[in-house]
Structure 1
Amino acid sequence: MDKLVSSWYNDQSLPESYIFPPHERPGKLLVPRCNTVPVIDLSDTRTNLVHQILKASQEFGLFQVVNHGVPPNIMSETMSVFHKFFELPAEDKASLTVYTNDPKRCKLVTSTLDYDREKIHLWRDVLRHPCHPDCIEFWPRKPLRYREVVAACSIEAKKLGLQILELLCEGIGIEHGYFEHELTEDLLLRANHYPPCPDPSLTLGIPKHFDPDILTILLQEHISGLQVLKDGEWIGVRPIPNAFVVNIGYILQVISNNKLKGAEHRVVTNSSDHRISVVFCMNPAGNSNIEPAKSVVTATNPPLCRGFQFKEFLDNFYSMEGDADLALQPFKL
């Protein structure tokens, strides 16, 4: 428990192990909260939605959705539950910080699962667990209603993700239902807690990366922190009430044969506020075969890679310290 940032951040120190190299630091420059990140109203006509989502996924790789059908009370209760979770006494969270390689178990760690081997730590605590019904018995019992609320939100997040994937399939010409079943079988939750940081210019909550999944559904609160790289410039993703941020995952970029774009993004810290984000990652099953969909491959647009198992890519991704392009290299044609 003594590793958790939330257990010692109040001493106002920034250990050397949390300071990023100069070229990776966010610095003191104010990044504007951007109004140009696409916001898509899912109550619009299907024709308009296909066009808007496809355009956003090709130009930004990231967008926000409103009027998505997820009840606002589920969203607010989910955020409230995670605030309560991270405020629990140390003894209520201690069992979750014990190392285990059981994929069904919850894990509460600082930085990443590789804390002891990494050179620089991230300024965050993160709770991770799969959202499969078989795993609910391993979810936290505290705070009250955690299991009920998080289960309800995870069901809604997956429904939303599948709806967006269907619209993207229609937009790029992939057959209906392509992403059902094993390609979106594993829904993983990550709840990130970023405590106030004494010097946000020197460290990061999460460094620059692509998400190594199919699709990421993110619930963020009113406090800014998420930034996306657009045309070589960092722009802040403005929090919008009752919206979800949707990020195109790198595996979806592969399946679309580069017709869709994964968003390179990062998370910065701040010196005054706790920030929590709730992330649902739509992942393929580990033994799923990943390759460009046949319907998007043509003589003028040949496949960018051969088929591979998702777990092969993930192994490469983590061994390459989160560099998705390097992780894909062994499979390139």
Structure 2
Amino acid sequence: MNAATLPIISLTSLDSDEGLAQLRRAASEVGFFYLIDHGLSDDAQQEYLALSRAFFQLPAEEKQRVDMIHSPHFRGYNAMGNEMTAGRLDAREQFDWMNEELALSAEQLNHPWQKLIGPNLWPSAMPILKPALTTLQNKLSDITVNLLQRLCESLGVDGHALDHTIGTQPYTHAKLIRYPAQASPQQGVGAHKDPGYLTLVMQDAQSGLKVERGDAWVGVPPIAGALVVNIGELLELASNGYLKATNHKVESPIQSAERYSIAFFMAAQLSATVPVLSLPPELKSRALGPSVDPSNPLMTDVGNNVLKGRLRSHPHVTRKHYCDEPLRHLLAKSFAHMPTADICDECRL
């Protein structure tokens, strides 16, 4: 087993005050931790990672049939060089899926984030993928909802304090990710924070994930059976900055085995507005407000906070599906405080 560089939290320990205190320290001091005893066995994780490898080994023409360019909802396949982080192209290919829903008509759109609602794209050449990933999505959703409630308890508030923002099902977004080996150091995915409540990451045996701690980047080596958890921007907002969304990145493997991972992002419903929790005095005094980054303003309205990241990460999809009227007008209203080039460099909102 690799040595842990982050706190290790057992989900089954969170019935105790000591376990909740450990969780609170990990989430507030680091923003990242390993999660064990979560109910998804290492064997099951390896099966999902094997399924991911099988998808990426499909012929290019089969993957292109479900290319994200065909989805105004940012679902489907991205080839190398089709996603950006921090303004630079990432050296990875991936497959994205989210909640399976019916798309709204143009007449039904009152907010630009409503265009995120829609169906996934599934490859006909691999029919097993949809049921398998839908099952995984449900399992990881249950883990994150449980963990979010425990985090609320660890902050001294009711464990169900954020349940109303989730409703019957949280908004979820997941990715199968392949990082091909590179001849020289490359940005697998650039430094960033995640926009939702919580992120779970399933890693294969290849390292590459790094977390910012102080002035250094700390590696997060895979530990068999453990999921890596990080705090997202919405939870930083809800805790008034007591819990921190932490910068992280992935460096591509160099002249070695490829890296495969599965990332799962859980957030409140897109229609929700995240409240600021009423923390007890001893924690409230240490909650100094969320981080301020002019290039990445945080928004308490969930839909816009999520859409902001999608528009920036996938400019080719943005240009095709978000530059027509009246959507341009809705975007201009929702993101009036952001530089227009950050939304669409060609439309100049």
What does 1:70-219 align with in structure 2 at a 5 Å threshold?
A: 70-97=40-67, 99-103=69-73, 105-113=75-83, 120-132=88-100, 138-180=121-163, 182-183=165-166, 185-200=170-185, 203-219=186-202
Which deviates further from its counterpart, 310-319 or 140-149?
310-319
2:198 is aligned with what amino acid? Answer: L
Aligned: 1:284 with 2:294: no
Paired with 2:48 and 2:157, the residues of 1 have a C-alpha distance of 33
Structure-1 residue corresponding to 2:258: 274
Paired with 2:274 and 2:8, the residues of 1 have a C-alpha distance of 30
8 Å contact kept, 1:141–1:147: no
Structure 2 SS opposite 1:247: strand
8 Å contact kept, 2:68–2:74: no
8 Å contact kept, 2:64–2:77: no
1:267 is aligned with what amino acid? Answer: V
1:310 is aligned with what amino acid? Answer: V
Structure-2 residue corresponding to 1:36: 5
Which deviates further from its counterpart, 103-112 or 272-281?
103-112
Which deviates further from its counterpart, 261-270 or 101-110?
101-110
Q: Give, in angstroms, the shift of residue 258 of structure 1.
A: 1.2
1:196 is aligned with what amino acid? Answer: A
Aligned length: 291
Structure 2 SS opposite 1:227: strand
Paired with 1:123 and 1:293, the residues of 2 have a C-alpha distance of 38
Which deviates further from its counterpart, 271-280 or 301-310?
301-310
Paired with 1:265 and 1:141, the residues of 2 have a C-alpha distance of 34
Deviation string for 1:119-171 (max 9, x for gaps)?
63111112112144767773234435212221221111111111111111101
Structure-1 residue corresponding to 2:233: 250
1:81 is aligned with what amino acid? Answer: L
Change (3 A) 1:247 1:111: farther
1:149 is aligned with what amino acid? Answer: A
8 Å contact kept, 1:257–1:296: no
Contiguous gaps of at least 5 residues in structure 2: 103-117, 291-297, 315-334, 339-349
Structure 2 SS opposite 1:128: strand
Paired with 2:208 and 2:215, the residues of 1 have a C-alpha distance of 18
Q: CA RMSD in A?
A: 3.3
Q: Give, in angstroms, the shift of residue 185 of structure 1.
A: 2.2
Deviation string for 1:74-107 (max 9, x for gaps)?
3122111100000111121121226134327424
Change (3 A) 1:284 1:147: same
Change (3 A) 1:79 1:245: same
TM-score by length of 1: 0.76
Contiguous gaps of at least 5 residues in structure 1: 1-32, 323-327
TM-score by length of 2: 0.73
2:28 to 50, 58, 61: 58
Residue identity over aligned pairs, in percent, reads 23
Paired with 1:221 and 1:65, the residues of 2 have a C-alpha distance of 15
8 Å contact kept, 2:241–2:288: no
Change (3 A) 1:142 1:81: farther
Structure 1 SS opposite 2:210: strand
Which deviates further from its counterpart, 33-42 or 81-90?
33-42
Deviation string for 1:292-331 (max 9, x for gaps)?
1245699857884898422333455567889xxxxx9x69
Q: Give, in angstroms, the shift of residue 273 of structure 1.
A: 1.3
2:274 is aligned with what amino acid? Answer: I
What does 1:286-305 align with in structure 2 at a 5 Å threshold?
A: 286-295=270-279, 304=289
Change (3 A) 1:301 1:41: closer
Paired with 1:299 and 1:263, the residues of 2 have a C-alpha distance of 20
Change (3 A) 1:296 1:91: farther
8 Å contact kept, 2:242–2:287: no
8 Å contact kept, 1:105–1:139: no
Structure-2 residue corresponding to 1:21: none
Q: Give, in angstroms, the shift of residue 243 of structure 1.
A: 1.1
